[in-house]
Amino acid sequence: MCKYFYKWDFYSYRKFKNNLIELCNRFSYLQRLPERWFNRLLISFIIVSISSFTFLTISCNNKTQIISPPLSLPPQPPVQQSTWDFVGLAGEDDIGSILVVPDKPWIIFAGIMSDFSGGTKGKIMKSTDWGSTWKKVIDSISSGIIIIDPKNDNILYASLGPLNDCVPGVIKSTDAGESWFRIDSMMQLTWEEGAGITIDPTNSNILYASVSGYFGGGLFKSINAGASWYTLPLRWEGRISPVEAGVMCFAVDPKNPNELYLGLNWVGYIMKSYDGGETFSVVHDTSEGLPSNIVVNPVRTNVVYLGYFDGGFRKSNNHGISWEREKSGLPYRSIDRLAFYKDSTIFVGSGWDNNGGVFASRDDGATWNKIGSLRIYALSIDEQNRFLYVSYGIASNSGIYRYKITQ
């Protein structure tokens, strides 16, 4: 018996139509029907399929309400195991970020960076049909990172990199990416590098913006969803860090959001905070390269993965206290992108040398296999449908590609 029922979600029906309990759970985030329909607890649910349309009927006290779903959703792309399929945005060779909306994976965003040498300006593109077609939602920017609020998929943030007529910073959308506005008025940014943007997975009001510029690097924090920001001083051992070195990468522990990790430019330090960024300590002091990516395992948060632009891949099993190199089957030099899938599966992308490509590990980084020779600049995962999305940066075949992850 249910006291409340919620309006129709066609994607939920298609995915869970054989399990009414899961179906009912999927409706819990949607708008309630009028209370008068539920003055009695005895409610029966009948799902009736007529031709290509599906209706949900709710019967209560001999009265029936019929709720119809949206007419259709974009058909899912064909599944081809272990092959790379072209998705779209042909000719775009500076795609710096790809975002697949978690609960609506047919919606994809692509952030495109400006190209100073080519004279082109960046933009953000949006697809609502698995990448078959795209529309421009904002232009004359240089976008390197796009993230989504894990509790509200209408809210997105994007970082802005350098561009002649658009200073670096952060922009926000509250209407699913259709329009954008700046939220960086209290940041001190320089021209040469933009800000990375990270959201606290447990509190959507808390944001971090990391800046990697040599003359203006640093870390900013907001506790009101970007309405205002303050600078985190990056103190450790009573000193101020060399903030001019800049913050290259940043991560929040998903189970303990007061634990933060960051990698510094030029000096290569990996630093950690246990108090939400008020103080930091150096946990990895190395000259092996420039850190490019930090990822905390969302299930086993004691495990932290680290990629270097020219120093390979590292892993910590003790919350970043010590690090070990994992190399078998993986080129040493450059790790540009790094993503955790699930269980013990990790994907990395390398694009700086002839040994580059896309690599997968299914044993938590101990061994690696090359699954693609693409020179990539962005990497994103659709966990629901087991798709890996990457952007390819060679002009003759540039664009976004999709790979079906095998079980």
Same domain flag for 240 and 167: yes
Number of domains forming the structure of the chain: 2
> Which residue matches tokens 């952030």?
111
Identify the residue with better confidence: 378 or 18.
Answer: 378
| Lowest-pLDDT choice from 83-92, 112-121, 320-329, 362-371 | 112-121
Query: What pLDDT is recorded for position 200?
Result: 95
Same domain flag for 61 and 89: no
Q: What is the DSSP string of 39-101?
A: SSS--EEEEEEETTEEEEEEEETTEEEEE---S--PPPPPP-BT-EEEEE-TT---EEEEEE-
Identify the residue with better confidence: 16 or 235.
Answer: 235
Same domain flag for 371 and 300: yes
Cα distances (angstroms) measured from residue 367 to each of 26, 159, 177, 272: 38, 33, 39, 27
Same domain flag for 255 and 357: yes
Same domain flag for 61 and 93: no
150 in any annotated domain:
yes
Identify the residue with better confidence: 336 or 403.
Answer: 403
38 in any annotated domain:
yes
Same domain flag for 269 and 368: yes
Same domain flag for 299 and 391: yes
| Lowest-pLDDT choice from 9-18, 79-88, 90-99, 190-199 | 9-18
Query: Edge-to-edge strand order for the sheet containing 108-112?
Result: 95-100, 108-112, 122-127, 135-141
> Which residue matches tokens 């966990």?
383
76 in any annotated domain:
no
Query: Which of 276, 319, 313 has the alpha carbon at shortest distance from 297?
Result: 319
Buried b (16+ CB within 10 A) or exposed e, 125-144: bbbbebbeebeebbeebbbb
pLDDT beyond 70 at 43:
no
| DSSP-based three-state secondary structure for 177 | coil
Contact 180, 173 (CB under 8 A): yes
pLDDT beyond 80 at 152:
yes
Q: Which CATH number does the domain housing residue 334 bear?
A: 2.130.10.10
73 in any annotated domain:
no
Same domain flag for 262 and 141: yes
74 in any annotated domain:
no
> Which residue matches tokens 């060399």?
242
286 in any annotated domain:
yes
Cβ-in-10-Å burial (0-12, 13-18, 19+) of 41 comes to: exposed
Q: Is the pTM of this model over 0.75?
A: yes
pLDDT beyond 50 at 50:
no
75 in any annotated domain:
no
Range of the domain at 26: 10-67
Same domain flag for 30 and 142: no
Share of the chain above pLDDT 70, in %: 68
Same domain flag for 230 and 142: yes
Same domain flag for 149 and 38: no
Q: Which run of H or of E encompasses 25?
A: helix 20-26
Per-residue model confidence as pLDDT tens digits over 153-197: 999 999 887 665 567 789 999 999 999 999 987 776 665 556 689
Query: Which of 140, 90, 138, 142 has the alpha carbon at shortest distance from 114?
Result: 142
1 in any annotated domain:
no
Same domain flag for 183 and 35: no
Question: Distance between CA 210 and CA 189 in Å, rounded?
Answer: 10
- Residue ending a domain, among 18, 33, 67, is 67
What is the arithmetic mean of pLDDT over 216-237? Answer: 82
